[in-house]
Amino acid sequence: MIYAVAALGALVGAITGLVGAGGGIIAVPSLIYIAGVPLPTAVSTSLIMGALAPLGAIIPRLRGGVDWRTAGAVIVGGIPAAFAGTFIGSLLPDEIVLVGFATLMLVAGAQMLRGRRENGDDRLARPKLWILRALGVGVAVGFLTGLLGVGGGFITVPALVALLGLSLRLAIGTSLVVTVVNALAGIAAHASVTQPDWAIALAFGIPSVIVAFASALVARRLPERVLRICFATLVLLAGAGTAIQAVIGIVTAH
């Protein structure tokens, strides 16, 4: 199984480096339905994964690919919300959490697929009350990180594009920074609830970091439209698969 997890790590690293998301939305369902890991352990293990893969993807984007002020505001809103999400998640049935997870992915994927007019300009014109918007995004993403065990890239990127006017490229780089910090906060929040499977996390993490770095270099050369379609397709497929599995779980439980 370790070899399968390593291959999954390489796949997630490729996707994370390319579109700045994908670790949690692939890792959580895979750990549950392929590796047979219980949801609480899958969530905590996914957070370890979510902190590792983006590290390789951030490095090629450090120069000009991150809006650090927005990242800081989102992080400030997200860290306390991650603890709240962890607490709420411990009170809910697994099936309800997975249905919520799938719903959010489908909405985010559809929003990104609709897109916006692209001008290829990565310069940032900040909207009014941008810091309050960024804090709100942080609260939402941090809560989801604690609740679902995802770093938040699948929802952070669309939110940064729609609410703060970032280009997709800048949103991806900014989201990666937020993802790492939120994942670390989520790990701390889950420490008192459940323990990760460290063997799986490391088998996943090592290849994911290496491949994420390589795919991030490739992403810098791709048109924004291609990145948007890749991102939206990934999220919609993962959301549909998770929804089907959640419904099956609810039906079989009754």
Provide the 8-state DSSP code for 120. S
Q: How large is the average pLDDT for residues 175-204?
A: 78
Provide φ and ψ at 63, rounded to 5°: -95, 100
Percentage with pLDDT > 70 across the chain: 90
Taking CA atoms, 165 is separated from 124, 144, 181, in Å, by 7, 22, 22
Show the CA angle centred on residue 103, arms to residues 154 and 111, nearest 5°: 55
> Is pLDDT above 60 for 122?
no
Taking CA atoms, 135 is separated from 110, 147, 164, 218, 225, in Å, by 24, 18, 11, 31, 28
Q: What is the per-residue pLDDT across 137-165, written as a single tens digit (0 to 9) for each?
A: 899 888 887 787 665 677 788 888 888 88
Residues in contact with 250: Cβ distance below 8 Å, sequence separation at least 6, in sequence order: 95, 99
Query: Is the Cβ–Cβ distance between 181 and 122 less than 8 Å?
Result: no
Amino acid in position 1: M
The range of the structural domain enclosing residue 174 comes to 2-253
pLDDT score, position 125: 66
Nearest-angstrom CA–CA distance, 30 and 177: 24
Domain count within the chain: 1
> Is pLDDT above 80 for 221?
yes
Amino acid in position 232: A
Q: Which one, of 194, 147, 152, lies nearest residue 45 by Cα? A: 194
Q: What is the per-residue pLDDT across 82-104, written as a single tens digit (0 to 9) for each?
A: 888 888 887 888 778 778 778 87
